[in-house]
Structures are given as C-alpha cells and as structure tokens.
Amino acid sequence: MVKGDAGSSLAAATIVLDLDTIEGNTRRLAKHLPGLDLVGVTKVTCGEPAVGRAMLRGGATALADSRPANLARLRAAGITAPLWLLRAPAPAQADEVVQLADISLESELVTVRALDAAAGARSLVHSVVCMVDLGDLREGVLPGDLLPFVEQVAALRHVRVAGIGVNLTCYGAIVPSEENLGELVRLAADVEDLLGRPIVVSGGNSGSLDLALSGRLPGGVTSLRVGETILLGLDTLTREPLARLRQDAFVLKAPIIECLVKPSLPRGESAQDAFGNRPVYQDRGDRRRAILALGRQDAYPDLLTPVDRRVEVLGASSDHLIVDVEAVAPPPQVGDVVELIPGYGSVLQAFTSPYVEKEIRGGPDASTGTGGR
C-alpha cells in the first residue's frame, strides 16, 4: 500500500516496467543456452521498443511479435535487428509484411504466394519459417504434409525457406518433449536434404526452456522464441519462478476511489453479472472494501496479486476492481495506491488498454507516464 492523498496521488492506473529485469533475465538465459538463438518476443507489451532494446542488450539475436503494427513500432524506433512475424498474416497484409518483417511463420500456400507477389513487386526476398503441427492443434501443416509444402514454397522466386518451426502449449497445452521436438529435428533433416542447405529449426516458445535448461533439448534445434519467461521470470509450464531469473519486471498500480465499510453479502435478488456469470459470495460480516480505478477492461482480476498481503482481490466489473482491506491498519484512504503483481494475461491487457499509463524504469529508455500505447 502506498500512501497518498486525494489531491496529489496517482491519477490513473499505471503499469510500471523495469528494463533492468528484462535485460538481466535475457542475459541469464542466453548465458545458460550457448549456441541457441533467443528470439525475444515483445507481443505482451504491444511491441514496446524499450522492451525490445533491453532484450537485444541481454543477448537476444532477433525480436518477434504477432502483429505487423507492433513490428512497425519497433522499426519506427530505429531497431534494425531481424524481426519475426509470429502470427501468419492475412493475404491482404502481404505488402505490409514484406516491408516490416524479415521472417514470418507460415502454413498456408495461398498466403506464401501473396507474400511472394508482394516481395517481387518490391524486388525483395522474404524469408519464411514453415510451421508444422506436432499435436498442439494451433498453426502448422501436419508432419506428412511438410515436405510437399516446403517444396512448393521453395519453388517461388521471392520467398526463401529459412527453416521450420513448431508451436506448443499455447492452444492444446501440449508439453514440449524429447519425443515431439525430436520429431521436429528429424523433419528438419529431411527438409535440409530437400533444400541442400542448413535451415533454422525453431523449437517453440518459453515452454521449451525446461528441456533446454536441463540439457534435454534434442540436438538440431537452433532457436527458441521466448517472451513470457524473459518478462515474468516463470516456467510457463508450471507458472513457478525460475531460480536464475527475476520476477519483478512489472507492477500494476491503481488509486483508491472509494473505501467504505460494507456488508460482504449483496442484498436483493441475484442475477447474472455484466459478464454473464452468477457470482457466489461468502457472508463474512461487515468488511472494509476499497474500489480501485481499474477493471476487467484493463486487467484480469484473477491474475492480480496484491503486493501487500493484507489486501485481497474480491472481483471486478468492467472498470472497478474491488478489494478487501479490512486487515490494513490504519485503514487506507481515497487517493492511496494499491500495488499489484500482474500475471501474463493482465500484463497483456494493461499494455493494450489505452486507459492504463505506462511507466518505464531502468536502462537508457526510462520514462514516466507515457500514456496508453
């Protein structure tokens, strides 16, 4: 709890980002993964250039994001490192993509042909990583279709097959293993035989780090696309802290706009809330409750952990976060600030929300109160 007053405290919810933590986490991972390229993923911060620069200072060899607008933000900030587009574009975005991205992840021939035409019109060659689905059921061709797909892509004049890749844990929550990543390596060998040259073998996202850090990553994987573990310092398979990394890159701060003693059980006939849920309440008697200037439009309430353990998150509407502060002594006042540790989904929402201010600390890119995106 940060004390303030109604006239001088925080005016709006603010997410505070520490660049030193991000740079340090990247450096520690790079140190423990020699010979493996780390592609730093900036998408949770909407392509924040300061985050990208911190990752590059820490040893990332390239940056990646899922949206062309975020790649444009990185380029406009003067970042010259290779940029990867993680989400395959719609064919109508092809011209934009070949201008912004050095590499894109692809699994549909119609899209690759659109990229080939756009690159040809600009006298460019665009590189693609051909994605293969090894069980997670998100993007990628099936293993038996990979070689025919690569062969058709390789026949195009203005697109180059840079490598193959896989995505795991994001949809089907399939754990990266020696078996499925071993299959990726075997498929890569077949592709290299077809092309007659070495290729990039992109072995997934932060979920593959457990294998890599324990020395069980199959030989032949050349790169990983890592965002969440660098940013939050967590093992994404368990959400447990990784011993080598820091977990203090983000703090979400919000001012108290009401603080009153009220019954803990609503009064009257209950219906659905604004999000179609039927909440269940426990009668704990009268309790002091604070309302923060923060809501579901800005962060997932279930992914917010108060820094002050005496504070308990009760729930949220679209723009009000309700917390129990009965145990806080002396009682907080309107204008005081509550600090919360956001989980991945809440970091994503906070950076996307134009109503949450962004404050950057540490490193050469420190700034204060940068507003929306």
pLDDT digit string (tens) for 36-76?
999 999 999 999 999 999 999 999 999 999 999 999 999 99
Is there a contact between 359 and 368 (Cβ–Cβ < 8 Å)? yes
What average pLDDT does the chain have? 94
- Identify the active-site residue in 31, 43, 253, 358: 43
- At 236-280, the pLDDT tens digits run 999 999 989 999 999 999 999 999 999 987 777 766 666 677 777
Cα separation of 114 and 214, whole Å?
41
Q: Is the pLDDT of residue 369 over 70?
A: no
More confident residue, 281 or 350: 350
Task: Give this prediction's pTM.
Answer: 0.93
Structure tokens at 123: 């006298």
Average pLDDT rounded to a whole number, residues 7-28: 92
What residue segments make up the domains of the chain, in order of their start? Answer: 33-241, 249-361
Is 287 a residue whose pLDDT tops 90? yes
Q: What is the pLDDT of residue 5?
A: 53
Structure token pair of residue 77: 């900030």
351-360 per-position pLDDT tens digit: 999 999 999 9
Nearest to 367 by CA among 2, 7, 14, 3: 14
Q: How far is CA 308 from the centre of its chain?
A: 25
Quote the pLDDT of residue 266.
79
Please identify, in words, the CATH class of the domain defined by 249-361. mainly beta
| pLDDT for residue 284 is more than 60 | yes
What is the token pair recorded at 284? 């704990």
Residue 373 has pLDDT above 60, yes or no: no
1 pLDDT higher than 80: no
For the residues 284-308, what does the mean pLDDT come to?
A: 96
Q: For the domain covering 33-241, report its CATH number.
A: 3.20.20.10
Residue type, 112: V
| 192 exposure class (CB count in 10 Å sphere: 0-12, 13-18, 19+) | middle
Whether residue 164 contacts residue 132, with contact meaning beta carbons closer than 8 Å, is answered with: yes
Least confident range from 2-6, 111-115, 154-158, 164-168: namely 2-6
Between 194 and 369, the higher pLDDT residue? 194
Range with lowest mean pLDDT among 85-99, 254-268, 359-373:
359-373
Considering only residues 274 and 321, tell me which one the structure prediction assigns the higher pLDDT.
321
For residue 163, is pLDDT > 90?
yes
Q: Is residue 262 annotated as a catalytic residue, yes or no?
A: no
Given this chain, do its domains 33-241 and 249-361 carry the same CATH topology? no
Q: Where are the alpha helices (DSSP H) in the chain?
A: 19-32, 49-58, 68-76, 94-100, 109-121, 146-154, 178-195, 209-213, 228-232, 344-352
Mean pLDDT of 162-176: 95
In angstroms and rounded to an integer, the radius of gyration of the C-alpha atoms of the chain is 23
Task: Convert 132-187 into a string of H (helix), E (strand) and C (coil).
Answer: ECCCCCCCCECHHHHHHHHHHHHCCCCEEEEEEECCCCCCCCCCCCHHHHHHHHHH
